[in-house]
Chains A and B, each alone.
Chain A
Amino acid sequence: MKKVLSMFLLILLVGVIAGCSDDSSTSDNGNNTDNNTNTEENNEEKDYSGEVLKVWSFTDELEDPITTFEERNGSTVELTIVPIADYPTKLRPALESGVGAPDVFTGEIAFLKEWTDRGYWENLSADPYNVDEWEDDYVPYVFDLGKDSEGNVRALSWQTTPGGIFYRRSIAEEVLGTDDPAEVGEMMSSWDKMFETGDKLKEAGYRLFPDEGAIRWFSKSEDPQPWVNEDNELVMTEAKLNYFDHAKTLREKDYTAFAPEWSPSWFAAMDGPVAYNGGWDEVDSEASKDNQTEVFSYALPTWGLHSVLKPNVEETNGDWAVTSGPAPYFWGGTWVGIYSGSENKDLAWEFVKMMTHDEEFLTDWALETGDVLSYLPVTDEIKGDFSEPFLDGQNNYEFFLEESKKIEPGIVTKYDQQIDTLLGSKVIDYVDGKVTKEEALEEFYKAVKNAYPEIKTP
C-alpha cells in the first residue's frame, strides 16, 4: 500500500516538474503530408518538412514571412509573440537556461547591444554562415549594429529605420512659399534656419513641432559619439548640452503646441487644428479660436509613416511630405538571429537568410509593406518605383535610403535607450522651468549614476 502511494506521489511530482520545463514538445506532426508536395516545386530548397522552428518576436510583422517560409520548405514555424514591455524579461530566463528557448528570436534596438555581447545569438561571422562577406550588401550602420564587441556578427536586420521630418505641404506652401521637400529641407538644415522657419510659422499661427522632444534625435546625432566610452565615462557632448537650450528656445518662442509625444493631443494635431478647447464642438467660440493652432511637422522614422501617421490621419491624407532635418538619425529597428543553443540551426539559418538575404522574398516584402530594406541589391532595384500617395506621390523610399547611408555606425551602446530617456525627462523639467540648466544637468548625472553605478559621470 505504502509503496503504491509513494510511487503515485513520485509520478505526480515528476509530472509537476516536467510540466514546468516542457511546453512545446506536443507540436503537431500532422502537417508533414500536406506540405510534401510544395517542396517539389522549389529544387533549391532543402526539404525540411516535419521539422519545427520556434520563433520569438515582439511584433506580428513576421507572420507573413513565416507563411512564405512554411510554403517554401514544408517546415512548421511556431511564432510566439511577446509584448515588447515583457520581451527582455520573458526571454532572458529562456535564453540563459536554454529551457523552452526559441531557435530564432528578434531583438529591438533598445536591448540589441546588451544581447549581442551575451552570446545568446549564434556567431554568424563563423562557419557555416560567413556573413562577413555580405557586409557590402547592407546599409552600413544596420550591419554594424548586429556585431558584438569583438566585431562578430550576431544578428542581421532586413530593414533600416532612418528618420526625417514629416511636414504638411499646405502649410509649407502658405508660409514658406514652397512645398518642395528639398527646399523645405534646406530651411530645416541647421538649428538657426530651423528656428527661423519656426518663427515664420509662429507668425502665421502655426507651430513648428508638437513638442520639444521632437528635436532630441537631431541633438543626439549632430555630433555622433557613444554615450559611454571605453573607459566607462559618460560622454556629454556640446550638442547634447545644447539640446537643453534648443528645447528651451522652442518653448519660450512658442514654436511648439504643448502636445507631448504619444499623448492624445500629439495624435490629434496630425489631423488638424488643436486647441485647449479642441474636439468639443459646443465651445467653438471666437475666444477659443485664438487658442487654436496647427502643427507643421513631426520628426518620425520610416515606420512612423505606416504605423503612426497613416492610422491617425484622415483629413490631411496626401498633404504630407518628408524631408531631412539638421542631422541624419535613426529610431528603432528589429534584428534577427539564431539562438546559440538551438538544436535546429540549419533550419533557423534558412529562416534568417530568407528574412535578410533573399532577393525574391525581400522584393515582395518591400513592395507589399513599403518597409525600407537594408539589403541594398534589392533596394537599388526597386527604389525608383515608389510613389507614396500619402505623401502626395513623393518617393519616400529613396529619401530614407539616402538618409540611412549618412548615419554614423558604431555609436550605439547598451545604455542608450535608458540614458536617452533620463536626459529627455531632465530636459523637459528644465523647459518647464522647474529647474535651472545646471540643476537639470546635475540631476541627470545623478540619475545616470543611480541607474548604472559603474559609469563615471562628469
Chain B
Amino acid sequence: MKKLDYKGYYFIAPFFAIFLTFNLYPVLLTFYYTFTHYEGYGEPQFLGLDNYVRILTDSYFLEAFINTWQIWGLNFALQLGIALFLAALFSDLRINIKGLGFFRAIFYLPNLITISSVAILFNIMLDWHYGSVNQFLLKLGIISEPINWLNQPFTAQASVALILTWMWFGYTFIVLMAGVAGISKEYYEAALIDGANRWQTFIYITLPLLKPIMLYIMITSLIGGLQLFDLPMLLTDGLGSPDGSLNTMVLYLYNQAFRYGNYGYAATIAYMLFLITVIFSGITFKSMYREAKVTKKRGNK
C-alpha cells in the first residue's frame, strides 16, 4: 500500500527537473559569477568580493539607480493619476458614462504595440527637425524653436516617462475599474443621499476601498519599472545618452554583459537589482498595509 504513495512524485518530477535546470541552476551559477571576472567564455577568474566593492563605489551604477527611479516615479505618478481620474469618472453615478467596454479597449490599445515599434514611432515623432511633436507645438505657437527632446537629460527622461504612461495607463485603468466594480454600489448611493460631493465620494469611499488594488498596481509597476530597459535602449544610442540620463540599471547590466563582455560584473548588478527590488517592494507593502489598517480602525470608530 505504502508504495503507491510515490506515484505522485513522478507526476511532479518533470516540473522539478525543469525548474532545477532552467531556474535554480542559472540563478546559483549567476551568484557564483558575481565573485568572478568572467568574459562569457573560458574559465571564470575568482575575484572574491571585488565586484561588490566596485558596485558600491560605481558612479555609473548610482546614476543608473537614480535615473531608473526618476523615470519610474514620474511615469507612475502620471499613470496612476490618469487612471484614477478616469476610474472616478467612469464610476460616477451622476455622469454615468456609456460605453465603458469601448473605452477600456481604446485605452488599452497602446499596450498591444511591440515596444520596438513604439520606440521607432516616437523616435520619428520626437525628431528635432522633422518630428511631428515639434511641428505641432511650433504651429500652435507654444514654442518658438524646436526642442531637441532626446538630447537633454530632463526632456529625455520625461519623454520616456510619458511614453510609458501612454502605454500603461490603460492597463492600470482596467485593473482599477475591476477594483471599483468590487465596491458595493450602496456606498455610493448612501453618499449621494448624504449629499457628499464628487471629491468627497472619491476621497472617502473610492480611494480607501481601492487600496489593496493600488498596492498590487504599485508593486507590479515597481518591479517592472526597476527593470526598465527597452525604451532607453532603443530611443537613443543604447549607452544612456544624453549625459547618461537614460542609463537605467538593466541597460547598464546589459551593456556590461553583452557590449563589454564583463559577465561577472553584470551578474553582480543583477543581484544588486534583485536586492533593491526586494527592499523597495517590502517598504511599499509595509507602508501601504499599515495605512490600510489605520483607515480601517478609524472606520470602526
Q: Is the CB of B243 within 8 A of A277?
A: no
Of chain B, the residue at the smallest CB distance from A263 is B127
Q: Is the CB of A89 within 8 A of B258?
A: yes
Chain A residue contacts of B41, Cβ below 8 A: 92, 96, 118
Does residue B17 face the partner (Cβ distance < 8 Å to A)?
A: yes
B214-254 near A? 1/0 per residue, CB < 8 Å: 00000000000000000000000101011100000000000
Q: Is the CB of B239 within 8 A of A258?
A: no
CB-CB contacts below 8 Å: A68-118 with B: 88-89, 92, 96, 114, 118
Does residue A33 face the partner (Cβ distance < 8 Å to B)?
A: no
Partner of A5, one of B10, B146, B239, B261: B10
Chain B residue contacts of A92, Cβ below 8 A: 40-41
Given contacts A263-B128, A278-B129, 5 further A-B contacts (CB under 8 A): A92-B41, A264-B124, A265-B129, A280-B135, A450-B60
Does residue A366 face the partner (Cβ distance < 8 Å to B)?
A: no
Q: Is the CB of B14 within 8 A of A422?
A: no
B123-153 near A? 1/0 per residue, CB < 8 Å: 1100111110001001100000110000100
Does residue A149 face the partner (Cβ distance < 8 Å to B)?
A: no
Chain B residue contacts of A350, Cβ below 8 A: none
Q: Is the CB of A425 within 8 A of B241?
A: yes
> What's the minimum C-beta distance from B292 to chain A, rounded to whole angstroms?
43
> What's the minimum C-beta distance from A390 to chain B, rounded to whole angstroms?
24
Does residue B185 face the partner (Cβ distance < 8 Å to A)?
A: no
Known A-B contacts A92-B41, A274-B129, A422-B239; the reply to A2 vs B7 at CB < 8 A is yes
Chain B residue contacts of A16, Cβ below 8 A: 14, 18
Partner of B237, one of A114, A264, A425: A425
Q: Is the CB of B239 within 8 A of A421?
A: yes
Does residue A279 face the partner (Cβ distance < 8 Å to B)?
A: yes
Q: Is the CB of B17 within 8 A of A276?
A: no
Cα–Cα, bound, A259→B148 (Å):
11
Partner of B146, one of A259, A276, A434: A276
Q: Is the CB of B260 within 8 A of A276?
A: no
CB-CB contacts below 8 Å: A372-430 with B: 418, 421-422, 425, 428-429
Chain A residue contacts of B58, Cβ below 8 A: 450
Chain B residue contacts of A139, Cβ below 8 A: none
Chain B residue contacts of A305, Cβ below 8 A: none
Determine which residue in B123, B127, B256 has the highest number of CB atoms from chain A within 10 A of its CB, and name it: B127
7 A-B residue contacts at CB 8 Å? A2-B3, A5-B10, A13-B17, A264-B131, A276-B129, A428-B241, A451-B259
> What's the minimum C-beta distance from B125 to chain A, rounded to whole angstroms?
10
Cα–Cα, bound, A92→B38 (Å):
14
Does residue A283 face the partner (Cβ distance < 8 Å to B)?
A: yes
Cα–Cα, bound, A283→B136 (Å):
11
Partner of A278, one of B130, B256, B261: B130
Cα–Cα, bound, A89→B129 (Å):
35
Does residue B28 face the partner (Cβ distance < 8 Å to A)?
A: no
Cα–Cα, bound, A434→B245 (Å):
13
Known A-B contacts A92-B41, A280-B135, A283-B139; the reply to A418 vs B129 at CB < 8 A is no
CB-CB contacts below 8 Å: A257-304 with B: 258-259, 263-265, 268, 274-280, 283
> What's the minimum C-beta distance from B165 to chain A, rounded to whole angstroms?
24
Chain A residue contacts of B127, Cβ below 8 A: 263-265
Q: Is the CB of A277 within 8 A of B10?
A: no
Partner of B13, one of A9, A274, A279, A425: A9
Q: Is the CB of A258 within 8 A of B128?
A: yes
Of chain B, the residue at the smallest CB distance from A453 is B262
Chain A residue contacts of B123, Cβ below 8 A: 264
Known A-B contacts A421-B237, A452-B260; the reply to A277 vs B128 at CB < 8 A is no
> What's the minimum C-beta distance from B215 to chain A, rounded to whole angstroms?
37
Chain B residue contacts of A442, Cβ below 8 A: none
Chain B residue contacts of A5, Cβ below 8 A: 7, 10
Chain A residue contacts of B60, Cβ below 8 A: 450
Cα–Cα, bound, A89→B60 (Å):
24
> What's the minimum C-beta distance from A105 to chain B, rounded to whole angstroms?
16
Cα–Cα, bound, A188→B243 (Å):
32
Cα–Cα, bound, A2→B17 (Å):
19
Cα–Cα, bound, A284→B258 (Å):
46
Cα–Cα, bound, A88→B146 (Å):
39
Of chain B, the residue at the smallest CB distance from A432 is B151
Cα–Cα, bound, A259→B18 (Å):
51
Chain B residue contacts of A88, Cβ below 8 A: 258
A26-62 near B? 1/0 per residue, CB < 8 Å: 0000000000000000000000000000000000000
Cα–Cα, bound, A13→B12 (Å):
12
Q: Is the CB of B260 within 8 A of A451?
A: yes
Cα–Cα, bound, A283→B3 (Å):
85
Chain A residue contacts of B242, Cβ below 8 A: 429, 434
Known A-B contacts A12-B14, A425-B237; the reply to A279 vs B130 at CB < 8 A is yes
Determine which residue in B7, B129, B139, B145 has the highest number of CB atoms from chain A within 10 A of its CB, and name it: B129
Q: Is the CB of B130 within 8 A of A268?
A: yes
Of chain B, the residue at the smallest CB distance from A425 is B241
Q: Is the CB of A276 within 8 A of B13?
A: no
Partner of B138, one of A2, A118, A277, A429: A277
Does residue A369 face the partner (Cβ distance < 8 Å to B)?
A: no
Cα–Cα, bound, A440→B139 (Å):
37
The 7 A-B residue pairs whose C-beta atoms are closest, nearest first, are: A451-B260, A265-B129, A264-B127, A264-B130, A9-B10, A265-B130, A425-B241
Of chain B, the residue at the smallest CB distance from A414 is B261
Chain B residue contacts of A307, Cβ below 8 A: none
B261-281 near A? 1/0 per residue, CB < 8 Å: 110000000000000000000
Of chain B, the residue at the smallest CB distance from A429 is B243
Does residue A6 face the partner (Cβ distance < 8 Å to B)?
A: yes
CB-CB contacts below 8 Å: B67-112 with A: none
> What's the minimum C-beta distance from B123 to chain A, rounded to whole angstroms?
8
Chain A residue contacts of B262, Cβ below 8 A: 451, 453
Chain B residue contacts of A265, Cβ below 8 A: 127-130
> What's the minimum C-beta distance from A457 to chain B, rounded to whole angstroms?
14
Cα–Cα, bound, A277→B129 (Å):
7
Determine which residue in A12, A279, A425 has the highest number of CB atoms from chain B within 10 A of its CB, and name it: A425
CB-CB contacts below 8 Å: B3-44 with A: 3, 6-7, 10, 13-14, 17-18, 40-41
